[in-house]
Chain A
Amino acid sequence: MDWFLQQTINGLGLGAIYALIALGYTMVYGVLRFINFAHSDVLMLGAFTAFYIAPKIEKLLGSQSALACIMVFIVAAALCACLGMLIEKLAYRPLRNRPKLTVLITAIGVSLLIEFTAQNEKVFGAAPQPFPQLLPERAIHLGNLVISSNDVLTVGVTIVLLVAMWFIVQKTRVGTAMRAVSYNQQAASLMGVPVDRIISFTFGLGSALAAIAGILYAIKAPGIEPLMGVQPGLRAFVAAVLGGIGNLPGAVLGGVLLGLLETFAGGIPELSNYRDAIAFGILILILLLKPAGLLGRSSVEKV
């Protein structure tokens, strides 16, 4: 029983990060119907931004203080939001009316460009860098169970951001505009919705989420390198599809499910070898039974 509960806790800690990254994928997809493959690299840039600004902020606000930690998150998220908007403006906007495939390939190109530029010795270098401890880490013991304070932080941040995203999309004017653009770009533009600005905003929001996920990921695994985003990015993409791409709670559900599956499979001898295969096999099964994902609604294309 202890073993089961401990694995559940481990799985939740991992799943929450996948969920956070998946939220960003799903936001952009929901509005633009296109997978932003550079998302996982913005995650990496978020972690590196925090890596460089944390010492400066901690000098001002005290080392390992809650206030400094929050500031690191905010500044990194803001910088990455600007970066996300810049990527959209330079690489994706000129292709707005081209076939979707062109944009998709460009996204892969942007992703590779960022990864390999970052690996240059004069930028970040390829070797892993030690990520600073932003908050003192505590282990909470409950009987035989150990809960890391980092995992609690991750789960908390994910829940808060999910609620915030839901609120923005459903209850604000910007959110209404986002939904309008998602529904029909041309019609929205005819109704006076500034499509370019809304898409830019969506990218900014998605990139801020990626940056926050990147910092949480770096806190969990404090060796950061330019390719750190690739694996969690792929899994989060899968999580977004699993939950129903374009659907916010679905992304979180998918992420948590994937985290739990991977953790449980990892702890079983004979199966640990196949932990990705199991996670992805179940994904295929779910998609066979529910092609739109767990919470996605299948839509009928009207002619």
Chain B
Amino acid sequence: MKPFHLLFATIASLFSLFLLPSCKSGGGDTIKVGEFASLTGKEATFGTSSHEGTLLAIEQVNAAGGVLGKKIELLTEDDQTKAGEPANAVNKLISKDGVVAILGEVASSRSLEAAPICQQNKIPMISPASTNPTVTQEGDYIFRVCFNDTFQGGALANFASGTLKAKKVAILTDVKSDYSKGLAKSFKDKFSTSGGTVGIELDFNGGDKDFKGQLTAIKSDAPDAIFLPGYYNDVALICIQAKQLGLATPIFGGDGWESESLLTIGKDAVEGHYFSTHCSIEQPTPEMSAFVDAYKKRFNGKSPDAMAVLGYDSAMVLVDAIKRANTTESAALRAAIAATKDFSGASGKFSLNADRDAVKALVFIQIKGGKFTYNATVNP
């Protein structure tokens, strides 16, 4: 029996290790802000990046004396990249911790899960990077500091016919992700109305490791380019297997591609391919360079990606709104966030429109020499 008890003791102590940091109570003299992110699981680099950006923003605000004379306390919940977890996380943050606002998530599927709960409780939610149009349609308490996929899909369609000179494009969609399906749809609408032909359309399940079935079918369809609105981990493997099958067609996708993992895993197989994203850390604005320096200093020289920039901006937009509202009362705070105009974020200058989406430019990145290199900017 003894070893078994030992195992239990280990499990129990591990659990308490994980639970302790989130249990500390803040007292009444802080402003509690909730955050949910995919810190573990399949899309962990997204959650880790956006969390680090958010954390940096809150630390900077607190170091400068906080807001309304109080420090901000950031309560972070990990949703493990799992469906069902965001609802638990947000419910806990709202009802148990009593946060004044929620920041998160990167992936649209998980933001869509949390949004109705925030709307119902009238707690403002700001998503850093969920681009599916339906996210902010959940209600007037839901905001995002990025563009939506109607804009991104349109820009990608113009890119396919303009820069890539593609007449026929095959589409490979992740059926598990609202982001992927939404982006595929807006791309298809724009591309087919502007004279392009959509070739074979196939699906995969995010997390699959074998895509040769789909890629072989795409190869026999012989498109000029492949549109792949997926997340980085799947994209890297798809590019590798496309190369193995001798498929030399250019592949392009959206902001879900951006992660260092795409380069470290995809290596030469992702070379030459393109994607659109929110900003480039090479952007020569003072806000961006200040952010990049601060981030590198805080996180041991690690260079930030777009999700980190947007995580930072989401927190800064919230802090700015709390300042302007001069209260954390939910209706006033909501109105202040909605009134965000010409905000100088790290990702660029942007305003929130009537649909609570940020109106901002999009950049195209090409993978060249094992690096993300800036290719072009598209203004809204």
User: Chain A interface (Cβ within 8 Å of chain B)?
Assistant: 2-3, 6-7, 10-11, 13-14, 89-91, 94-95, 109, 113, 116-117, 119, 125-130, 137, 139, 141, 146, 148, 150, 217, 220-223, 225, 227-228, 231-232, 262-269, 272-273, 275-276
B220 surroundings in chain A (CB, below 8 A): 2-3
B213 and A11 contacting across the interface, CB-CB below 8 Å = yes
Q: In whole Å, how far is B143's beta carbon from the nearest beta carbon of chain A?
A: 28
A10/B216 contact (C-beta < 8 A), A94-B4, A269-B201 known:
yes
A272 and B213 contacting across the interface, CB-CB below 8 Å = yes
B137 near A: Cβ within 8 Å? no
Q: Which of B4, B244, B264, B267 contacts A148 (CB 8 A)?
A: B244
Q: How many Å lie between the Cα of A7 and that of B215 in the bound state? A: 10
B14 surroundings in chain A (CB, below 8 A): 113, 117
B244 and A139 contacting across the interface, CB-CB below 8 Å = yes
B63 near A: Cβ within 8 Å? no
A127 and B213 contacting across the interface, CB-CB below 8 Å = no
Q: Which of A13, A90, A225, A227 contacts B4 (CB 8 A)?
A: A90
B202 and A128 contacting across the interface, CB-CB below 8 Å = no
8 Å CB contacts to A: which residues of B170-222?
175, 200-205, 207-214, 216-217, 220
A263/B210 contact (C-beta < 8 A), A130-B267, A269-B201 known:
yes
Known: A3-B220, A223-B236, A225-B42. 10 other contacts (CB 8 A): A6-B245, A94-B1, A109-B11, A130-B265, A139-B244, A217-B209, A225-B44, A227-B207, A268-B217, A276-B205
Q: How many Å lie between the Cα of A117 and that of B11 in the bound state? A: 10
B40 surroundings in chain A (CB, below 8 A): 116, 119, 126
A14/B39 contact (C-beta < 8 A), A130-B265, A269-B217, A272-B203 known:
no
A128 and B207 contacting across the interface, CB-CB below 8 Å = no
B327 near A: Cβ within 8 Å? no
A10 and B212 contacting across the interface, CB-CB below 8 Å = yes
Q: Which of B208, B214, B216, B265 contacts A222 (CB 8 A)?
A: B265
Contact size range, B? 35 or more
B54 surroundings in chain A (CB, below 8 A): none
A146 and B214 contacting across the interface, CB-CB below 8 Å = no
Closest to B11 in A: A113
Q: In whole Å, how far is A21's beta carbon from the nearest beta carbon of chain B?
A: 12
B3 near A: Cβ within 8 Å? yes
A126 and B213 contacting across the interface, CB-CB below 8 Å = no
A126 and B233 contacting across the interface, CB-CB below 8 Å = no
Binding site of A, secondary structure by majority: helix, strand, loop or mixed?
Answer: helix
B175 surroundings in chain A (CB, below 8 A): 273
Q: In whole Å, how far is B380's beta carbon from the nearest beta carbon of chain A?
A: 32
B3 and A262 contacting across the interface, CB-CB below 8 Å = no
A13 and B267 contacting across the interface, CB-CB below 8 Å = no
Q: Which 6 A-B pairs have the closest CB atoms?
A: A266-B213, A126-B44, A267-B217, A221-B209, A10-B212, A263-B213
Q: How many Å lie between the Cα of A276 and that of B205 in the bound state? A: 9
B354 near A: Cβ within 8 Å? no
A266/B233 contact (C-beta < 8 A), A10-B213, A221-B210 known:
no
8 Å CB contacts to A: which residues of B17-48?
39-42, 44-45, 48
A221 and B237 contacting across the interface, CB-CB below 8 Å = yes
B203 surroundings in chain A (CB, below 8 A): 272-273
B210 surroundings in chain A (CB, below 8 A): 10, 13-14, 220-221, 262-263
A130 surroundings in chain B (CB, below 8 A): 264-265, 267
B246 near A: Cβ within 8 Å? yes
Q: How many Å lie between the Cα of A73 and that of B209 in the bound state? A: 21
A265/B213 contact (C-beta < 8 A), A117-B14, A227-B42 known:
yes
B339 near A: Cβ within 8 Å? no
Q: In whole Å, how far is B11's beta carbon from the nearest beta carbon of chain A?
A: 6
B205 surroundings in chain A (CB, below 8 A): 275-276
Q: In whole Å, how far is A119's beta carbon from the nearest beta carbon of chain B?
A: 4
Q: How many Å lie between the Cα of A225 and that of B40 in the bound state? A: 10
Q: Which of A89, A141, A228 contacts B3 (CB 8 A)?
A: A89
B1 surroundings in chain A (CB, below 8 A): 94
> What 0/1 pattern do residues 257 to 289 of B give for CB contact below 8 A with A?
000010011010000000000000000000000
B44 surroundings in chain A (CB, below 8 A): 119, 125-127, 225
Most chain A CB inside 10 Å of its own CB: which residue of B1, B7, B200? B7
Closest to B243 in A: A139
Closest to B48 in A: A127
A3/B217 contact (C-beta < 8 A), A90-B3, A266-B211 known:
yes
B325 near A: Cβ within 8 Å? no
B45 surroundings in chain A (CB, below 8 A): 127
